[in-house]
């Protein structure tokens, strides 16, 4: 076997970025370790990984959850193809370890590794695991979880609570974030694809924020579809804003933020709690097993965030929260401190140690 690790998964930033964080940590401490990601051409990994300098092996794979009719049939037909592709790749390259970071592509790769007796680590980011990870938990050697409440879904003897893996830039903070921007800066994130409901509510909120226009700045990840509309909205209403489809330099943007309005994917929450930033969470309503709301409620119950359900998000409500934040900075600071207390800045290192244990174990 080569001294290599295969990280399988992606599709969204929430699955991909924990894998990148782990890859960088492994390579930083051991220059001999080679990392290859396995994903699809359609996923975010095909855009992000070349920028990060990692190899990407693509396979034909598609999700089954939420698919109907022809789409579901096509993805069922891809399954044996993806298994054969995964098996062939692993047979030729014989990695020391396969890590599944979520998303449907991790399924065929982890199953192939198990069949070839290559150690398998599964990482679950959310409070409620998806169908793929629940099943893979039965065959994986170890299951790393982010939230304690996920334990019940996996064999107890395999579970290690690591927290969610985040890039090194997020782990260096010693206290809750103090915004670097002079203006009250609102960072708006709808996940890697954007979120239309948040985008539209935020544009409506501008109509209620005229009195504080000069004190506000917005940094807004719109998603590709809404980019032009959101940019035009800010310009038309005369607000200072940097709106773009996708933000690559997230750490720098987080540090400017006085308040974040975002979805509640596990990776986003791991990043904002690591830095200690107050947030308004609008869970994606169609997430598998409603895991985004479960994630968000975990922060809300600790006083680290406010939660607004997607059906209830509107401009007036967001504007009121922003105005409250400007008028009561102490309340926001307290929320930021509670967020920071929830942060798991050692999560990536814990996951790295787990990888090394599995790589050393006789198999």
Summarised one tens digit per residue, pLDDT across range 189-248 is 986 666 899 999 999 999 999 999 999 999 999 998 999 999 999 999 999 999 999 888
- pTM for the complete prediction? 0.84
Architecture of domain 184-342: 3-Layer(aba) Sandwich (3.40)
pLDDT digit string, tens, across residues 149-169: 899 999 999 999 999 999 999
Cβ 234 vs Cβ 241: under 8 Å: yes
Report the C-alpha gap between 222 and 127 in whole angstroms: 26
pLDDT band, very low/low/confident/very high, at 362 (cuts 50, 70, 90): confident
% the chain with pLDDT above 90: 70
Token representation of residue 181: 């921007």
Report the C-alpha gap between 50 and 52 in whole angstroms: 5
Q: Residue 270's closest CA among 322, 346, 325?
A: 346
Q: Residue 134's closest CA among 73, 88, 65?
A: 65
248: CB partners within 8 A, 6+ apart:
48, 51
pLDDT band, very low/low/confident/very high, at 172 (cuts 50, 70, 90): confident
List C-alpha distances in Å: 59 to 8, 67, 304.
10, 19, 39
Question: At 361, phi and psi to the nearest 5?
Answer: -70, 140
Determine the pLDDT at residue 43. Answer: 82
Q: Is 259 helix (H, G, I), strand (E, B) or coil?
A: strand
Report the C-alpha gap between 7 and 129 in whole angstroms: 18
CATH number of 4-167+346-360: 3.40.50.2000
Match 């539209």 to its residue by tokens.
200
Determine the pLDDT at residue 68. Answer: 52
> Where exactly are the structural domains of the chain?
4-167+346-360, 184-342
Report the C-alpha gap between 87 and 103 in whole angstroms: 18
184: CB partners within 8 A, 6+ apart:
212, 215, 216, 217, 258, 259, 322, 325, 326
For residues 45 and 308, the model is more confident at 308
Average pLDDT over residues 313-340: 97
Average pLDDT over residues 277-297: 92
Average pLDDT over residues 79-97: 90
Distance from the Cα of residue 61 to its chain's centroid: 20
Average pLDDT over residues 10-16: 83
Token representation of residue 247: 């933000």
Nearest 5°: the CA angle 185, 125, 111 is 145
Is pLDDT at 91 greater than 90 in this prediction? yes
Token representation of residue 252: 């720098």
Kindly state the DSSP code that residue 207 receives in the 8-state scheme.
G
98: CB partners within 8 A, 6+ apart:
5, 6, 7, 8, 90, 109, 110, 113, 118, 119, 120, 121
Determine the pLDDT at residue 30. Answer: 87
What are residue 7's DSSP bridge partners? 37, 99
- Mean pLDDT is highest, among 64-73, 192-201, 258-267, for 258-267
Is pLDDT at 14 greater than 90 in this prediction? no
- Mean pLDDT is highest, among 37-51, 124-138, 288-302, 308-322, for 308-322
Match 């670097």 to its residue by tokens.
180
- Mean pLDDT is highest, among 8-12, 61-65, 69-73, for 8-12
> Poorest-confidence range of 34-38, 67-71, 263-267?
67-71
């Amino acid at each position: 076997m080569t001294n290599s690790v295969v990280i399988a998964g992606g599709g969204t930033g929430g699955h991909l970025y924990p894998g990148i964080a782990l890859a960088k940590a492994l390579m930083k401490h051991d220059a001999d370790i080679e990392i290859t990601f396995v994903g699809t051409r359609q996923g975010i990994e095909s855009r992000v990984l070349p920028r990060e300098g990692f190899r990407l092996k693509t396979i034909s794979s598609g999700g089954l959850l939420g698919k109907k009719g022809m789409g579901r049939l096509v993805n069922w037909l891809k399954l044996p193809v993806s298994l054969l592709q995964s098996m062939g790749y692993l047979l030729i390259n014989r990695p020391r370890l396969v890590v599944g970071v979520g998303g449907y592509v991790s399924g065929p790769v982890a199953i192939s590794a198990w069949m070839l007796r290559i150690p398998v680590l599964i990482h679950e980011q959310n409070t409620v695991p998806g169908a793929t990870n629940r099943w893979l938990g039965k065959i994986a050697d170890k299951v790393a979880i982010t939230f304690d409440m996920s334990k019940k879904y996996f064999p107890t003897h395999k579970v290690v609570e690591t927290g969610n893996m985040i890039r090194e830039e997020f782990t260096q903070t010693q206290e809750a974030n103090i915004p670097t921007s002079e203006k009250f800066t609102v960072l708006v994130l709808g996940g890697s694809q954007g979120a239309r409901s948040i985008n539209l509510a935020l544009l409506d909120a501008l109509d209620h924020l005229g009195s504080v226009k000069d004190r506000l700045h917005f940094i807004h990840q719109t998603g590709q579809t809404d980019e032009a509309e959101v940019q035009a909205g800010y310009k038309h209403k005369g607000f200072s804003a940097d709106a773009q489809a996708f933000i690559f330099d997230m750490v720098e943007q987080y540090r400017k933020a006085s308040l974040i309005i975002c979805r509640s994917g596990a990776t986003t929450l791991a990043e904002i709690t690591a830095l200690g930033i107050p947030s308004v969470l609008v869970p994606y309503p169609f997430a598998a097993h409603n895991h985004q709301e479960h994630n968000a409620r975990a922060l809300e119950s600790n006083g680290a965030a406010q939660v607004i359900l997607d059906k209830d998000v509107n401009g007036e409500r967001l504007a009121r929260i922003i105005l409250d934040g400007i008028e009561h900075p102490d309340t926001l600071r307290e929320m930021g401190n509670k967020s920071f207390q929830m942060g798991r800045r050692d999560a990536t290192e814990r996951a790295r140690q787990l990888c090394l244990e599995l790589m050393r174990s006789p198999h």
